[in-house]
Amino acid sequence: MGFDISYHPISRDEMYEWYFNRLAEVKEGDFSGIEAVAKKYGMDDFYLKKYKDTMHIAANTTGIEPFDKTHSYNLAVVQGFFRTFYYTRGTAFTFLIQQNEEMSAYTAGFSEILSQKIENPIHNRIIENYCGGVYIPCESVSKLLADYQSGIVKEVLVDFFEQNLPPFLKALTFAKEHQLGLLEATEVVEVNPISLNETVCYSNLMNCDRDGAYIYAETAKMQIEAFAKAQNMDVQEVMENAVYKKTSPGEADKKVKKGLWKKLFGK
């Protein structure tokens, strides 16, 4: 199914305010902290319910489950209830580090970021679908942007991100301007490139920056056209009958607020 990558601007303090400080409360059935935070940031009731549901799952995570698949992923989902996040199809910083280990210098492990002890096994990277990934702290966001602009890592980023570089740079720029770090995750949002209105989101779809989705849709269109021409098929007919097949089960924001993606993207 590939990977639907997203980048979530968030600070260490926000990790605690929105997520880690709420876990013990929610585990005891106390959602007053959740409600107070949601009110502070003007969250509407629809997403407050999703926030509560996400935190209920998070609070009941066992100590043997991977941190990346649980707390890191849930943290990315929660971030999306509060602020813009950025989508890039397939281009995870985790994968870049696998190709170029030196790029790990821009990241920090959660054991360094959090003051509390982490009981869950932790990889600090994407290990499979529906997973949190690396965290680029605020100071490293600024350094990465500066190193790109000065040419130190420009070729590395251009070669890896290709057409997805603009939304990644947009995420870095936003994080720098707001003095935030950047948390990577996969399948917080699952863009349907054939029909954007059929996109699935486990967070707040309205907070998903649209640029990466447009790029994915255009890339898919070009691939379909190339396939049709190679097979001597009618391009328009193939486009009309193309189906995006999702291989993983799961319910999310797909049919809630019908036509939301259409309103956002005008498609």
Structure tokens at 141: 């966001």
The conformation of residue 104, written as its DSSP 8-state character, comes to G
CA dist 149 and 141 (Å) reads 12
**pLDDT tens digit string along 45-59?**
999 999 999 999 999
The β-bridge relationship of strands 181-186 and 131-136 is antiparallel
Instruction: Name beta bridge partners: 190.
Output: 200
In this prediction, residues 81-104 reach a mean pLDDT of 98
Quick: pLDDT tens for 231-265: 676 656 655 565 555 544 343 343 334 344 444 44
Three-state SS annotation for 7-28: EEEECHHHHHHHHHHHHHHHHC
Q: Is 171 within 8 Å of 182 (Cβ atoms)? A: yes
Between 247 and 82, the higher pLDDT residue? 82
- Please report the pLDDT score of residue 253 as a whole number: 41
Comparing 65-79, 125-139, 216-230, which segment has the lowest mean pLDDT?
A: 216-230
Q: Which residues contact 44 (CB under 8 A, 6 or more apart)?
A: none
- Nearest-angstrom CA–CA distance, 66 and 72: 9
pLDDT band at 195 (very low <50, low <70, confident <90, very high): confident
Name the more confident of 263 and 13.
13
> SS3 for 148?
helix
